[in-house]
Amino acid sequence: MPVNPTDILAIAARLSEHNTEAAHRSAVSRAYYSVYHHGLRTVKAKLPPVDLKKYSKGCHQRLGERLIDGKTSDWRDVAEDVEWLRKARVTADYHLSKPSSAIKAKIAIQRARRVLRALEAL
């Protein structure tokens, strides 16, 4: 059975319970990826197709841009949370000199849960 965004978020929550910086960083990263994959599915299903050349070259930034171009302010609100999570994931994965914490992991998981609910409601 294939993995789904909810499964990825469940792993993030479990990782956040470990008391190590590596686990907290991984939890932030997994929380983002749960949102990323669900967001891609939602955009494809609920927004009209577009010429992707209009958007950034990076697929992760492109998701946020597509959400911003969504039908209502609800789409833009989701885009803001996705962008926060994307930036947190970049910091967690690539900027090891910047500290991470259990609090950051918990916030990322809470935001990811909120985004998943919001994506379902769009």
Q: Which residues contact 99 (CB under 8 A, 6 or more apart)?
A: 21
d(Cα 27, Cα 84) in Å, to the nearest integer? 15
Query: What pLDDT sits at residue 83?
Result: 96
Side chain identity at residue 88, one-letter code: A
Q: Which residues contact 88 (CB under 8 A, 6 or more apart)?
A: 28, 32, 104, 108
Percentage of the chain exceeding pLDDT 70:
99
Instruction: Give tens-digit pLDDT for 14-56.
Output: 999 999 999 999 999 999 999 999 999 999 999 988 887 887 7
Query: What pLDDT sits at residue 70?
Result: 82
Instruction: Give tens-digit pLDDT for 75-94.
Output: 999 999 999 999 999 999 99
Q: Where are the domains of the chain?
A: 5-121
pLDDT tier at 96, thresholds 50, 70, 90: very high
d(Cα 71, Cα 116) in Å, to the nearest integer? 17
d(Cα 82, Cα 39) in Å, to the nearest integer? 9
> What pTM was computed for the model?
0.93
Instruction: Give tens-digit pLDDT for 55-70.
Output: 777 899 999 999 998 8
Residue range 5-121 in CATH 2.20.25? no
Quick one: which of 85, 71, 84, 80 has its CA closest to 121?
71
